Structure 1
């Protein structure tokens, strides 16, 4: 009896903390009423994950078209993990939902990714014909025309719309700087690395900033992995340019001193800091909940118009790749002249509006919903990777399968705690 009580006193708080983090305090309170054994936490997670998975893959996806978002990463134990999210119509709204997190055991080729996706859809008897879109980061293993993931999916459904993550496209574009601006960026990074490479230099620079009553005391490191870092590094260097000049004079670094005293170089630095700051704002605005291809496209077009003002030059309008059939044009004409529907269009969200008329105007609403179902970024996968790093940390590096933990952590659908609890009988102490 003492051992049983001691086990509960140790395991119960850990279980409550995990459930509270994943599902909230109310669910944690209900879970705390269930007696625990050594493997109870694991079993409960498996049961909640199974309940969520059946609710999504076993029920909801069978009655709706869906779009997929996939990406892969390497966890703390150097194992490749494939994460997938699904976007579908759930009753009267479009919803995003975690699908799975599977280990890529050997290679990360397009065929390997496809096999995992295909096996999962087969397991739940889901058809590729219902898949209307796939969003990836644009890596060759994903979009390669011969052996990429998309090529295998196209064999199953040639009508699948492939979208390249907006964030990754912008990140690739931002790397194509002109030679003059690239030189400025490289020189800024050399300055930062010169100081950050040695703790003694970092402490000296911090002391100079303190003596000069600067707003900041430290520089920021640039990393290609974190897409916001480039703009933040440039802004910080520009704000601390006087402090940097004092530091490099003390270090007798004449090359860096000449740059910081050159007005033309400072002007180019300021331009880079400004443009990357605007790009960071754009990037931040097109990720998060409620974003789709249309909203992200609108924000990018708005950014293009700002460039038009800044440069005082015309920017050609991008052409739409979705042409309408005669039936769709007729239905669109009917919708656009219906005053009641126009009022709804102005007051409701795009998703709610098109879902509400899909029975009356089948063709045009299907076209609109096919566009709205597309993922615009791989934001959810990046969010999942952050949770993966938390769940599979150094102390839990021996975990072989984390699919269930990831599903309970990331799913928008809450498991039926009461139903699961009723299936278990409490063990009365003897």
Structure 2
């Protein structure tokens, strides 16, 4: 763009240490030449930080993902049986998506589906003969954990919706401010 650095009045970063480091970060180096420069952290990345879970919700999510892994990944036969069971149950879903811990947005797909077929999953898990399967129906029974899981479904959906509204080509802060 051929803009000289002295015409730059602010910088927005993702908060990575290489960007915001006190001594060697890009911002520190820029401020040596231009002390009045303002530095901001991108609010899309701040919303991801808002999505970090406390220990209780992290454990609850971990239990749910272990159950999904048990149903989908540990046995191809069990996964086929689950899909057949869901198809016969006339649910809106015929399968559970897998959860990828690396992609934060995959919670958007997994949690609502898990919540929508929780009763069918409980019935299916009760038919499983595996010892591991016996721990999951207890988790899916009405309890504080289930209301917390419902909250987790809602908050992850909200944060994902916000994240999608904030992204896009040629969007400015003025365009995205109403969403925040």
TM range (shorter): 0.7 to 0.9
Q: Are positions 1:138 and 2:18 aligned together?
A: no
Q: Are positions 1:205 and 2:85 aligned together?
A: no
Select which of 31, 37, 46 maps to 1:169.
Answer: 46
Give matches, 1:300-339, under 5 Å: 300=180
Q: Are positions 1:221 and 2:98 aligned together?
A: yes
Identify if the C-alpha distance between structure 1 residues 133 and 225 changes in structure 2 by more than 3 Å, giving closer, same or farther: farther
Q: TM-score, normalised by structure 2?
A: 0.86
Q: Are positions 1:270 and 2:150 aligned together?
A: yes
Q: Pairwise CA RMSD of aligned residues? A: 2.0
Find the aligned partners of 2:28 and 2:71 in 1 and give their Cα distance: 47
Identify if the C-alpha distance between structure 1 residues 163 and 222 changes in structure 2 by more than 3 Å, giving closer, same or farther: farther
Q: Are positions 1:279 and 2:159 aligned together?
A: yes
Q: Are positions 1:196 and 2:76 aligned together?
A: no
Identify if the C-alpha distance between structure 1 residues 215 and 248 changes in structure 2 by more than 3 Å, giving closer, same or farther: same
Identify if the C-alpha distance between structure 1 residues 131 and 225 changes in structure 2 by more than 3 Å, giving closer, same or farther: farther
Find the aligned partners of 2:44 and 2:117 in 1 and give their Cα distance: 29
Find the aligned partners of 1:237 and 1:214 in 2 and give their Cα distance: 12
Please state whether the residue corresponding to 2:10 is helix, strand or coil.
strand
Find the aligned partners of 1:200 and 1:142 in 2 and give their Cα distance: 48
Find the aligned partners of 2:40 and 2:86 in 1 and give their Cα distance: 46
Match of 2:128 in 1: 251
Select which of 160, 183, 186 maps to 2:62.
Answer: 186
Match of 1:151 in 2: 28
Q: After superposition, what is the alpha-carbon deviation per residue over 1:205-254, rounded to whole angstroms, capped at 9, x for unaligned?
A: 11111111111122122234323222322111101112211221122422
Question: Structure 1: where are the runs of 5+ without partners?
Answer: 1-56, 62-125, 301-430
Find the aligned partners of 2:98 and 2:30 in 1 and give their Cα distance: 40
How many residues are treated as equivalent by the alignment? Answer: 176
Please state whether the residue corresponding to 1:298 is helix, strand or coil.
coil
Find the aligned partners of 2:104 and 2:10 in 1 and give their Cα distance: 25
Find the aligned partners of 2:172 and 2:145 in 1 and give their Cα distance: 40
Q: Tell me: higher relative CO, structure 1 or 2? Use CA pairs within 8 A at least 6 residues apart.
A: 1
